[in-house]
Amino acid sequence: MKTTGSLYQQAPLLDYKEKIKEGTFMSKVLIVGGGAAGMMAGVHAARNGHEVHILEKNEKLGKKLYITGKGRCNVTNNCDTEELFPAVMQNPKFLYSAFYSWNSQDVMGFFEELGVPLKVERGGRVFPESDHSSDIIRGLERALKKAGAEIHLHTEVKKLVEENGAVTGVVLKDGSFLSGDSVIVATGGFSYQATGSTGDGYRLAREMGHTITEIEPSLVPLHTEEEYIPKLQGLSLKNVALTVKCGKKTIYQDFGEMMFTHFGVTGPMILSASAHVGKWLKKGECKGYLDLKPALTKEQLDTRVLREFEAGQNKQFKNVIIVLFPSSLTPVMLKIGGISPEKPIHEISREERLRFGALVKAFPFTINGFGEFKEAVITRGGVSVKEINPATMESKKIQDLYFVGEVLDLDAVTGGYNLQIAWSTAYLAAMAVCGE
Protein backbone atom coordinates (compact mmCIF):
# COMPACT_ATOMS: atom_id res chain seq x y z
CA MET A 1 0.00 0.00 0.00
CA LYS A 2 1.50 3.30 -1.01
CA THR A 3 1.72 5.99 1.60
CA THR A 4 3.47 8.65 -0.42
CA GLY A 5 2.10 11.70 -2.11
CA SER A 6 2.93 10.34 -5.55
CA LEU A 7 -0.10 9.65 -7.69
CA TYR A 8 1.61 7.80 -10.44
CA GLN A 9 3.51 5.05 -8.67
CA GLN A 10 2.02 1.58 -8.53
CA ALA A 11 1.32 -0.11 -5.23
CA PRO A 12 3.81 -2.93 -4.59
CA LEU A 13 1.20 -5.68 -4.74
CA LEU A 14 1.39 -8.44 -7.33
CA ASP A 15 -2.35 -8.63 -7.95
CA TYR A 16 -2.50 -4.85 -8.39
CA LYS A 17 0.37 -4.87 -10.89
CA GLU A 18 -1.22 -7.73 -12.81
CA LYS A 19 -4.50 -5.85 -13.07
CA ILE A 20 -2.67 -2.85 -14.50
CA LYS A 21 -0.77 -5.00 -17.00
CA GLU A 22 -3.85 -6.89 -18.06
CA GLY A 23 -6.07 -3.82 -18.06
CA THR A 24 -8.67 -5.64 -15.99
CA PHE A 25 -9.63 -2.74 -13.73
CA MET A 26 -13.30 -1.86 -14.09
CA SER A 27 -12.72 1.85 -13.57
CA LYS A 28 -10.60 4.39 -11.75
CA VAL A 29 -12.12 5.68 -8.50
CA LEU A 30 -10.77 8.74 -6.69
CA ILE A 31 -11.75 9.09 -3.03
CA VAL A 32 -11.23 12.52 -1.49
CA GLY A 33 -10.54 11.96 2.19
CA GLY A 34 -9.15 9.01 4.13
CA GLY A 35 -11.39 9.03 7.17
CA ALA A 36 -14.02 6.49 8.17
CA ALA A 37 -16.25 6.90 5.11
CA GLY A 38 -13.35 7.24 2.68
CA MET A 39 -11.61 4.09 3.88
CA MET A 40 -14.82 2.05 3.90
CA ALA A 41 -15.69 3.17 0.38
CA GLY A 42 -12.14 2.39 -0.71
CA VAL A 43 -12.23 -1.15 0.65
CA HIS A 44 -15.46 -2.06 -1.10
CA ALA A 45 -14.60 -0.38 -4.40
CA ALA A 46 -11.16 -2.03 -4.52
CA ARG A 47 -12.56 -5.43 -3.57
CA ASN A 48 -14.85 -5.17 -6.57
CA GLY A 49 -12.01 -4.74 -9.02
CA HIS A 50 -11.65 -0.99 -9.29
CA GLU A 51 -8.43 1.01 -9.36
CA VAL A 52 -8.84 2.98 -6.14
CA HIS A 53 -6.88 6.06 -5.06
CA ILE A 54 -7.50 7.56 -1.63
CA LEU A 55 -6.36 11.18 -1.52
CA GLU A 56 -5.70 12.25 2.08
CA LYS A 57 -4.23 15.64 2.95
CA ASN A 58 -3.04 14.54 6.42
CA GLU A 59 0.07 12.56 7.26
CA LYS A 60 -2.00 9.47 8.13
CA LEU A 61 -5.42 7.91 7.60
CA GLY A 62 -8.28 8.12 10.08
CA LYS A 63 -7.00 11.08 12.07
CA LYS A 64 -10.43 12.01 13.42
CA LEU A 65 -11.43 8.36 13.78
CA TYR A 66 -8.45 7.93 16.08
CA ILE A 67 -9.88 10.30 18.71
CA THR A 68 -13.56 9.36 18.47
CA GLY A 69 -15.18 7.86 21.54
CA LYS A 70 -12.37 9.29 23.67
CA GLY A 71 -9.91 7.21 21.70
CA ARG A 72 -11.99 4.04 21.96
CA CYS A 73 -14.04 4.46 18.75
CA ASN A 74 -17.75 3.77 19.14
CA VAL A 75 -17.93 1.79 15.88
CA THR A 76 -21.72 1.44 15.63
CA ASN A 77 -24.77 0.61 17.69
CA ASN A 78 -25.90 -2.99 18.10
CA CYS A 79 -29.55 -2.37 17.37
CA ASP A 80 -32.12 -3.46 14.82
CA THR A 81 -32.02 -1.50 11.59
CA GLU A 82 -35.34 0.26 12.21
CA GLU A 83 -33.94 1.54 15.53
CA LEU A 84 -31.23 3.50 13.71
CA PHE A 85 -33.65 6.02 12.23
CA PRO A 86 -34.93 7.65 15.47
CA ALA A 87 -31.30 8.41 16.40
CA VAL A 88 -30.80 10.48 13.23
CA MET A 89 -31.57 14.17 13.73
CA GLN A 90 -31.47 15.40 10.13
CA ASN A 91 -33.06 13.63 7.16
CA PRO A 92 -33.47 10.11 8.59
CA LYS A 93 -35.70 8.99 5.67
CA PHE A 94 -32.84 9.71 3.26
CA LEU A 95 -30.87 6.89 4.91
CA TYR A 96 -33.44 4.16 4.30
CA SER A 97 -31.50 2.49 1.46
CA ALA A 98 -28.15 3.06 3.16
CA PHE A 99 -29.12 1.51 6.50
CA TYR A 100 -30.96 -1.42 5.01
CA SER A 101 -28.12 -2.10 2.54
CA TRP A 102 -25.35 -2.01 5.14
CA ASN A 103 -26.63 -2.10 8.72
CA SER A 104 -24.90 -2.29 12.08
CA GLN A 105 -24.76 -6.10 11.99
CA ASP A 106 -23.01 -5.90 8.62
CA VAL A 107 -20.51 -3.44 10.04
CA MET A 108 -19.81 -5.59 13.08
CA GLY A 109 -19.33 -8.66 10.90
CA PHE A 110 -17.04 -6.69 8.60
CA PHE A 111 -14.65 -5.69 11.40
CA GLU A 112 -14.74 -9.11 13.01
CA GLU A 113 -13.69 -10.59 9.66
CA LEU A 114 -10.84 -8.08 9.54
CA GLY A 115 -9.54 -9.50 12.81
CA VAL A 116 -10.85 -6.71 15.03
CA PRO A 117 -12.88 -8.28 17.86
CA LEU A 118 -15.70 -6.09 19.17
CA LYS A 119 -17.72 -5.75 22.36
CA VAL A 120 -21.14 -4.28 23.17
CA GLU A 121 -21.61 -1.92 26.09
CA ARG A 122 -24.49 -0.02 27.68
CA GLY A 123 -27.04 1.31 25.24
CA GLY A 124 -25.84 -1.00 22.47
CA ARG A 125 -22.62 0.94 21.97
CA VAL A 126 -20.06 -1.12 20.07
CA PHE A 127 -16.31 -0.72 20.68
CA PRO A 128 -13.19 -2.64 19.72
CA GLU A 129 -12.47 -5.19 22.41
CA SER A 130 -9.09 -3.56 22.98
CA ASP A 131 -10.63 -0.11 23.60
CA HIS A 132 -8.17 1.24 21.02
CA SER A 133 -9.51 3.11 17.98
CA SER A 134 -6.20 2.41 16.28
CA ASP A 135 -7.31 -1.21 15.87
CA ILE A 136 -10.24 -0.06 13.71
CA ILE A 137 -7.94 2.09 11.58
CA ARG A 138 -5.34 -0.67 11.21
CA GLY A 139 -8.07 -3.13 10.24
CA LEU A 140 -9.25 -0.81 7.47
CA GLU A 141 -5.68 -0.19 6.33
CA ARG A 142 -5.05 -3.94 6.09
CA ALA A 143 -8.23 -4.37 4.07
CA LEU A 144 -7.24 -1.54 1.72
CA LYS A 145 -3.79 -3.05 1.24
CA LYS A 146 -5.14 -6.51 0.59
CA ALA A 147 -7.64 -5.16 -1.94
CA GLY A 148 -4.96 -3.22 -3.80
CA ALA A 149 -6.07 0.32 -3.04
CA GLU A 150 -3.45 3.01 -3.28
CA ILE A 151 -3.08 5.59 -0.50
CA HIS A 152 -1.70 9.06 -1.13
CA LEU A 153 -0.90 10.99 2.02
CA HIS A 154 -0.08 14.72 2.09
CA THR A 155 -2.28 14.97 -1.00
CA GLU A 156 -4.80 17.79 -0.92
CA VAL A 157 -7.57 18.15 -3.49
CA LYS A 158 -8.25 21.78 -4.43
CA LYS A 159 -10.84 21.36 -7.17
CA LEU A 160 -13.16 18.87 -8.82
CA VAL A 161 -13.18 18.85 -12.61
CA GLU A 162 -16.27 18.17 -14.72
CA GLU A 163 -16.95 18.05 -18.42
CA ASN A 164 -20.36 17.79 -20.06
CA GLY A 165 -22.08 17.28 -16.74
CA ALA A 166 -19.82 14.47 -15.49
CA VAL A 167 -16.83 14.53 -13.14
CA THR A 168 -13.56 13.69 -14.87
CA GLY A 169 -11.01 14.05 -12.08
CA VAL A 170 -9.46 16.39 -9.54
CA VAL A 171 -6.88 19.15 -9.37
CA LEU A 172 -4.41 18.84 -6.50
CA LYS A 173 -2.87 21.56 -4.38
CA ASP A 174 0.30 21.47 -6.48
CA GLY A 175 -1.75 22.18 -9.60
CA SER A 176 -1.50 18.70 -11.11
CA PHE A 177 -4.54 16.96 -12.56
CA LEU A 178 -5.54 13.39 -11.74
CA SER A 179 -8.16 11.82 -13.97
CA GLY A 180 -10.81 9.48 -12.65
CA ASP A 181 -13.95 7.75 -13.84
CA SER A 182 -15.71 8.61 -10.60
CA VAL A 183 -15.01 10.71 -7.51
CA ILE A 184 -16.27 10.01 -3.99
CA VAL A 185 -16.08 13.01 -1.65
CA ALA A 186 -15.52 11.83 1.93
CA THR A 187 -13.95 14.91 3.47
CA GLY A 188 -15.88 15.00 6.74
CA GLY A 189 -17.45 18.12 8.22
CA PHE A 190 -16.20 21.13 10.13
CA SER A 191 -15.66 19.71 13.60
CA TYR A 192 -12.30 18.82 15.17
CA GLN A 193 -10.57 21.00 12.61
CA ALA A 194 -7.15 20.02 13.91
CA THR A 195 -7.76 16.62 12.32
CA GLY A 196 -8.23 18.17 8.89
CA SER A 197 -12.00 18.66 8.92
CA THR A 198 -11.87 22.20 7.61
CA GLY A 199 -14.92 22.21 5.37
CA ASP A 200 -13.12 21.35 2.12
CA GLY A 201 -15.98 19.15 1.00
CA TYR A 202 -18.51 21.96 1.30
CA ARG A 203 -16.38 24.17 -0.94
CA LEU A 204 -15.87 21.40 -3.50
CA ALA A 205 -19.60 20.65 -3.54
CA ARG A 206 -20.58 24.30 -3.82
CA GLU A 207 -18.25 24.74 -6.79
CA MET A 208 -20.11 21.88 -8.46
CA GLY A 209 -23.40 23.69 -7.99
CA HIS A 210 -24.55 21.96 -4.82
CA THR A 211 -26.46 23.63 -2.00
CA ILE A 212 -24.85 23.61 1.45
CA THR A 213 -27.31 23.85 4.32
CA GLU A 214 -26.45 25.90 7.40
CA ILE A 215 -23.38 24.52 9.17
CA GLU A 216 -23.52 24.27 12.99
CA PRO A 217 -21.60 22.36 15.66
CA SER A 218 -23.44 19.35 17.07
CA LEU A 219 -22.82 16.93 19.91
CA VAL A 220 -21.23 19.71 21.93
CA PRO A 221 -21.12 20.74 25.59
CA LEU A 222 -23.89 23.09 26.70
CA HIS A 223 -23.37 26.50 28.29
CA THR A 224 -25.42 27.42 31.35
CA GLU A 225 -26.46 30.60 33.09
CA GLU A 226 -26.46 29.81 36.82
CA GLU A 227 -23.47 30.91 38.87
CA TYR A 228 -23.57 27.70 40.93
CA ILE A 229 -22.81 25.41 37.97
CA PRO A 230 -19.08 26.35 37.69
CA LYS A 231 -18.71 25.54 41.39
CA LEU A 232 -19.43 21.94 40.45
CA GLN A 233 -16.65 21.83 37.84
CA GLY A 234 -15.20 18.34 37.49
CA LEU A 235 -18.10 16.58 39.21
CA SER A 236 -19.26 13.59 37.17
CA LEU A 237 -22.65 12.04 37.83
CA LYS A 238 -23.64 8.56 36.67
CA ASN A 239 -27.10 7.06 36.48
CA VAL A 240 -28.96 10.36 36.52
CA ALA A 241 -31.94 11.33 34.38
CA LEU A 242 -32.07 14.45 32.22
CA THR A 243 -35.08 16.38 30.96
CA VAL A 244 -34.73 19.39 28.66
CA LYS A 245 -37.65 21.78 28.14
CA CYS A 246 -37.86 24.69 25.75
CA GLY A 247 -40.88 26.73 26.72
CA LYS A 248 -43.56 24.25 27.71
CA LYS A 249 -42.32 21.57 25.31
CA THR A 250 -40.17 18.68 26.51
CA ILE A 251 -37.66 18.18 23.70
CA TYR A 252 -35.29 15.62 25.21
CA GLN A 253 -35.15 12.99 27.94
CA ASP A 254 -32.35 10.55 28.70
CA PHE A 255 -30.65 8.51 31.40
CA GLY A 256 -26.92 8.17 31.82
CA GLU A 257 -23.75 10.09 32.59
CA MET A 258 -22.91 13.80 32.61
CA MET A 259 -20.29 16.16 34.01
CA PHE A 260 -20.17 19.78 35.16
CA THR A 261 -17.62 22.18 33.66
CA HIS A 262 -16.49 25.76 34.28
CA PHE A 263 -18.96 26.94 31.64
CA GLY A 264 -21.81 24.43 31.87
CA VAL A 265 -22.41 20.73 31.36
CA THR A 266 -21.03 17.96 29.18
CA GLY A 267 -20.86 14.16 28.95
CA PRO A 268 -22.57 11.58 26.70
CA MET A 269 -26.11 12.46 27.74
CA ILE A 270 -25.51 16.20 27.34
CA LEU A 271 -23.88 15.81 23.93
CA SER A 272 -26.90 13.94 22.64
CA ALA A 273 -29.17 16.62 24.12
CA SER A 274 -27.23 19.28 22.22
CA ALA A 275 -28.35 17.72 18.94
CA HIS A 276 -31.93 18.54 19.94
CA VAL A 277 -31.60 22.02 21.46
CA GLY A 278 -29.78 23.84 18.64
CA LYS A 279 -32.82 25.16 16.78
CA TRP A 280 -34.62 25.94 20.03
CA LEU A 281 -31.80 28.08 21.39
CA LYS A 282 -32.24 30.39 18.42
CA LYS A 283 -35.65 31.22 19.87
CA GLY A 284 -34.49 31.63 23.46
CA GLU A 285 -33.15 29.78 26.48
CA CYS A 286 -33.97 26.19 27.39
CA LYS A 287 -34.18 24.62 30.85
CA GLY A 288 -32.46 21.43 31.91
CA TYR A 289 -33.50 19.33 34.90
CA LEU A 290 -31.48 16.52 36.47
CA ASP A 291 -33.16 13.80 38.49
CA LEU A 292 -30.38 13.04 40.96
CA LYS A 293 -32.20 9.99 42.36
CA PRO A 294 -34.03 8.46 39.37
CA ALA A 295 -34.30 5.03 41.01
CA LEU A 296 -36.63 6.52 43.65
CA THR A 297 -40.14 7.89 43.19
CA LYS A 298 -40.97 11.19 44.88
CA GLU A 299 -42.65 9.23 47.66
CA GLN A 300 -39.70 6.86 48.10
CA LEU A 301 -37.28 9.77 48.15
CA ASP A 302 -39.34 11.55 50.80
CA THR A 303 -39.32 8.37 52.90
CA ARG A 304 -35.51 8.24 52.58
CA VAL A 305 -35.11 11.92 53.51
CA LEU A 306 -37.55 11.54 56.42
CA ARG A 307 -35.55 8.58 57.70
CA GLU A 308 -32.38 10.69 57.70
CA PHE A 309 -34.26 13.52 59.44
CA GLU A 310 -35.60 11.25 62.16
CA ALA A 311 -32.12 9.89 62.82
CA GLY A 312 -30.74 13.44 63.26
CA GLN A 313 -33.57 15.33 64.94
CA ASN A 314 -31.25 17.69 66.81
CA LYS A 315 -28.65 18.12 64.06
CA GLN A 316 -28.40 21.01 61.66
CA PHE A 317 -29.73 20.52 58.15
CA LYS A 318 -26.27 20.82 56.58
CA ASN A 319 -24.94 17.93 58.69
CA VAL A 320 -27.76 15.57 57.76
CA ILE A 321 -27.99 15.86 53.97
CA ILE A 322 -24.29 15.18 53.41
CA VAL A 323 -25.12 11.48 53.15
CA LEU A 324 -27.37 12.12 50.16
CA PHE A 325 -24.95 13.76 47.71
CA PRO A 326 -21.33 13.89 46.57
CA SER A 327 -19.34 16.31 48.74
CA SER A 328 -18.98 18.98 46.03
CA LEU A 329 -22.72 18.95 45.33
CA THR A 330 -23.84 19.41 48.92
CA PRO A 331 -22.94 23.15 49.22
CA VAL A 332 -24.90 23.90 46.05
CA MET A 333 -27.93 21.95 47.25
CA LEU A 334 -27.76 23.92 50.50
CA LYS A 335 -27.55 27.20 48.63
CA ILE A 336 -30.53 26.62 46.34
CA GLY A 337 -32.53 24.26 48.55
CA GLY A 338 -34.53 26.93 50.34
CA ILE A 339 -33.61 25.68 53.82
CA SER A 340 -31.06 27.43 56.04
CA PRO A 341 -27.99 25.18 56.44
CA GLU A 342 -27.96 25.86 60.21
CA LYS A 343 -31.64 25.11 60.73
CA PRO A 344 -32.26 22.23 63.16
CA ILE A 345 -33.93 19.23 61.59
CA HIS A 346 -36.82 19.27 64.05
CA GLU A 347 -37.74 22.81 62.92
CA ILE A 348 -38.01 21.91 59.22
CA SER A 349 -41.61 21.78 58.01
CA ARG A 350 -43.13 19.12 55.80
CA GLU A 351 -43.52 21.70 53.03
CA GLU A 352 -39.83 22.60 53.22
CA ARG A 353 -38.86 18.92 53.16
CA LEU A 354 -41.05 18.18 50.15
CA ARG A 355 -39.76 21.26 48.34
CA PHE A 356 -36.20 20.06 48.91
CA GLY A 357 -37.16 16.61 47.61
CA ALA A 358 -38.57 18.23 44.48
CA LEU A 359 -35.19 19.91 43.92
CA VAL A 360 -33.45 16.53 44.15
CA LYS A 361 -35.81 15.18 41.48
CA ALA A 362 -35.42 18.25 39.25
CA PHE A 363 -32.06 19.99 39.77
CA PRO A 364 -32.33 23.02 37.44
CA PHE A 365 -29.99 24.77 35.04
CA THR A 366 -30.62 27.22 32.21
CA ILE A 367 -29.12 26.40 28.80
CA ASN A 368 -28.13 29.59 27.02
CA GLY A 369 -25.63 28.41 24.41
CA PHE A 370 -23.49 25.56 23.17
CA GLY A 371 -19.88 24.80 22.32
CA GLU A 372 -17.91 25.79 19.24
CA PHE A 373 -16.80 23.67 16.29
CA LYS A 374 -13.51 22.92 18.03
CA GLU A 375 -15.50 21.13 20.75
CA ALA A 376 -18.07 19.51 18.47
CA VAL A 377 -18.02 15.78 17.80
CA ILE A 378 -19.85 16.23 14.49
CA THR A 379 -21.22 18.91 12.19
CA ARG A 380 -24.90 19.61 11.65
CA GLY A 381 -25.67 20.64 8.06
CA GLY A 382 -23.80 19.97 4.84
CA VAL A 383 -24.49 18.99 1.25
CA SER A 384 -28.24 19.07 0.76
CA VAL A 385 -29.56 15.52 0.50
CA LYS A 386 -32.27 16.77 -1.86
CA GLU A 387 -29.52 16.90 -4.47
CA ILE A 388 -28.20 13.39 -3.76
CA ASN A 389 -29.63 10.07 -4.94
CA PRO A 390 -30.42 8.18 -1.69
CA ALA A 391 -29.98 4.79 -3.39
CA THR A 392 -26.45 5.49 -4.63
CA MET A 393 -25.11 8.67 -2.95
CA GLU A 394 -24.50 10.05 -6.45
CA SER A 395 -24.98 13.73 -7.14
CA LYS A 396 -28.15 14.58 -9.05
CA LYS A 397 -26.26 17.48 -10.62
CA ILE A 398 -22.97 15.92 -11.68
CA GLN A 399 -22.68 12.40 -13.02
CA ASP A 400 -20.16 10.02 -11.37
CA LEU A 401 -19.76 12.35 -8.35
CA TYR A 402 -20.64 10.89 -4.93
CA PHE A 403 -20.84 12.31 -1.41
CA VAL A 404 -20.59 10.17 1.73
CA GLY A 405 -20.40 10.57 5.49
CA GLU A 406 -20.37 13.76 7.50
CA VAL A 407 -20.06 16.07 4.48
CA LEU A 408 -23.76 15.37 3.88
CA ASP A 409 -26.57 17.08 5.80
CA LEU A 410 -26.90 14.13 8.16
CA ASP A 411 -26.25 13.91 11.88
CA ALA A 412 -27.29 11.74 14.79
CA VAL A 413 -27.06 11.49 18.57
CA THR A 414 -24.20 9.75 20.34
CA GLY A 415 -24.01 5.98 20.52
CA GLY A 416 -22.25 4.93 17.31
CA TYR A 417 -24.95 6.23 14.98
CA ASN A 418 -22.83 8.85 13.22
CA LEU A 419 -20.19 6.31 12.28
CA GLN A 420 -22.94 4.00 11.07
CA ILE A 421 -24.04 6.81 8.73
CA ALA A 422 -20.47 7.02 7.44
CA TRP A 423 -20.15 3.25 6.91
CA SER A 424 -23.56 2.85 5.27
CA THR A 425 -23.33 5.79 2.86
CA ALA A 426 -19.78 4.79 1.91
CA TYR A 427 -20.91 1.25 1.16
CA LEU A 428 -23.74 2.47 -1.07
CA ALA A 429 -21.44 4.75 -3.04
CA ALA A 430 -18.88 1.98 -3.53
CA MET A 431 -21.56 -0.42 -4.71
CA ALA A 432 -22.93 2.21 -7.10
CA VAL A 433 -19.48 2.76 -8.57
CA CYS A 434 -19.29 -1.00 -9.02
CA GLY A 435 -22.61 -1.04 -10.82
CA GLU A 436 -24.19 -3.18 -8.09
User: How do residues 216-252 score in pLDDT, each as one tens digit?
Assistant: 888 999 999 999 999 999 999 999 999 999 988 999 9
Domain 3-216+377-433 coded CATH 3.40.190.80? no
Helix 350-361 with 298-311: angle, nearest 10 deg: 130
| Average pLDDT estimate for 263-281 | 90
Contacts of 347 (CB under 8 A, 6+ apart): none
pLDDT at 436: 62
pLDDT band at 67; cut points 50, 70, 90 = confident
Q: What is the mean pLDDT of the chain?
A: 90
pLDDT at 25: 58
Query: How far is 252 from 376, CA to CA, in rounded Å?
Result: 19
Instruction: Please determine, for residue 8, whether its predicted confidence score (pLDDT) is greater than 80.
Output: no
Instruction: Please determine, for residue 13, whether its predicted confidence score (pLDDT) is greater than 70.
Output: no
pLDDT at 192: 67
Q: Any idea which of 145-154, 293-302, 305-314, 378-387 has the lowest mean pLDDT?
A: 305-314
pLDDT band at 384; cut points 50, 70, 90 = very high
pLDDT band at 20; cut points 50, 70, 90 = very low
pLDDT at 24: 53
Q: Would you say the pTM of this structure is higher than 0.75?
A: yes
| Average pLDDT estimate for 396-407 | 97
Query: How far is 1 from 74, CA to CA, in rounded Å?
Result: 26
Query: How far is 280 from 417, CA to CA, in rounded Å?
Result: 23
**Start-end of CATH 3.50.50.60 domains in the chain:** 3-216+377-433
Query: How far is 316 from 336, CA to CA, in rounded Å?
Result: 16
Beta strands in 153-248 (DSSP E): 157-163, 166-172, 177-179, 182-185, 216-218, 222-224, 236-246
Q: How far apart are the first and last CA of the chain?
A: 26
Q: Any idea which of 187-196, 311-320, 321-330, 387-396 has the lowest mean pLDDT?
A: 187-196
pLDDT band at 373; cut points 50, 70, 90 = confident
